[in-house]
Structure 1
Amino acid sequence: MSNHLICLEKHMFFAALLNRILVIPSSKVDYEFRRVIDVDHINKCLGREVIVTYDEFAERRKSHLHIDKFLCYFSQPQPCFLDEERVKKLKSLGISMNKLEAAWNEDVKNPKKRAVQDIMAKFSADDDVLAIGDAFFPNVEKDWVMQHGSPIAHKYKTLIEPSHLIMLTAQRFVQTFLGDNFIALHFRRHGFLKFCNAKKPSCFYPVPQAADCINRVLERANSPVIYLSTDAAESETGLLQSLVVFNGKTVPLVQRPARNSAEKWDALLYRHGLEGDPQVDAMLDKTICAMSSVFIGSSGSTFTDDILRLRKDWGSASLCDEYLCQGELPNFVADDE
């Protein structure tokens, strides 16, 4: 979901620059964004309609669902990576499109720094419906994305934020289990060992070293509880729990429990058919983490990056916020394959 939101942000950037309305993909092709983000909030923020759902777009276009121009940001190794399954899904919606075109000579492995003027010169078109492919990787000016004074300048604290139902559910969880003084830890593990060890230096820490780093944050933050957002196995979280100690006492690592009808904090999700959706769960985790007194994230994780974005925009960031074991090297790193 974090990568999807990055893609959405960048597409909003392109649409704003080109003075166009962004169409969110159909849930039959991609994820149903309305389940996790507040689409109406985005339009209210900008004071105009800048984003519509695919269903709204299809209703307006009636039988003419055609992409007049499909520009690819990258030309190498191939223009607009589209797997066959995705193309089939698009065609099943009745969408037709013209031939893919590369906007310029650009390699996805080495994206050039591009200015706003570059993008406007290459992607401006008179065509009615424009599609831009490969928008996840462009090295566009960060100062222009999601910032006040940018092409998508807005009047609220944050533009892309969790849906109202997820916000309320997160607040109810915090009121039930955590209170106003808690640390949130995003402990990324599954699939992260190989990813981190490919980086120099590695960002994957042994559990005992991670616990030492967390304990040092506990000393500064003096929080009685830690909210744990993780994909780690129970064997790792169990060991971590036994090693996280403050003033000689184990500090609880709290995770969201399984659905229990006796608990009412998650009733809104259950009533609206959102329970058990992994993307909703992920956004709920992000929201709870963003509400914490102190946040410890995983370096290299876009999930962590999105939490930091929310904390900055909401004004909830703390001087104690940091990446896990920030400034330290792992005390043991396995050899390469």
Structure 2
Amino acid sequence: SQIKASSKARAKAVDAALKHLEQLGIIEQSAALSPPTVRARYSQTARLAIPPQAIHGVARHLGRDSRRARLLEVIAASGDEGLPVQKALKLAEVNRQVLTTLVNSGAVEIIEGWARLALPPEAVDEVLIDLREGYKQLRALELLAEHGTMSIDALREQSGIKSADVKKLAEDGLIEVYESPIFHDVLANRDFIPKMPPMLTPAQKEAWQPIEAQIKAWQWGKAQGHTFLLHGVTGSGKTEIYLKAIEQTLAQGRDALFLVPEIALTPQTIRRVAERFPGQVAVIHGSLKPRERYDTWQRIRRGLVKIVVGARSAIFAPLADIGLIILDEEHDHSYKQTPPISPPYYHTREIAEYLAKLQKA
């Protein structure tokens, strides 16, 4: 049909018409054509993350002859544009570990190119005719329609397209290319095997029923902030109730906070949640390095995770829509921040109760 006519053919026809008008002296090229509006990056870029006036102080701290200082100076010389990571490493004659050190210190940030569809997913079929000779480009569009957004590197790897293909798709208005910092996941290097939930015992079912009813009431707009006290000795199965509540909360499209005393935030606790909800968990605790804390905070704020597990300070995690707050061992004294710990002073339970009312959790 005319509606599905090839945009490539239309573009060629327009180009031919414009060229003919230019030859006749009716128009000038500068008056008819505008500069490209898309300038894409297709690799990771290293960019300064501190004010330019702070460079000398940081370099002096690192030492003029150090590899880190040399790499910092190379990246700083590139200005706001930054440098492709591989080029920066080559110019400074250092390895990736040196760059990682600067990133962890907060002096440098890594920017990655991302792509998303510039047209509705259902409209992808309409460009089949245009791309009948470009299978890899079509595959790239199908991947974006499936995943929503993808890093340029991942898109190239899975579809087989090249940088020129990405640029062409962007210039044709089929995809949008943008940049985003890379935020480190402290759980990224740990292997978690997804596990199916076990069957509830009769006692667990009895405890779960009123909690489930409250969570399901959200979808009807009837739920208000509500508090449940779950009592049980160690090993009685409370954690499974917590995990089931998180599962139902996520099914409603909301976020969950799982707070535990600092001493109870063990690798086993984290593993149990992460195995149940792989790729959806962030962890906040006092042992995180400044850069890890910043990256974790940004991942939460940008909606990259739906569950936060942590000690008392995790109550301030910037989850967009908190539907569930769990305080395990809520009587524990560590939930109350008091001197000699530095301010602010607060009781996590009181803040949790306030948040529950505020967000109807």
Q: Which TM-score applies when normalising by structure 2? A: 0.21
Select the structure with the greater relative contact order (CA < 8 A; seq sep ≥ 6): 1
Q: Which TM-score applies when normalising by structure 1? A: 0.22
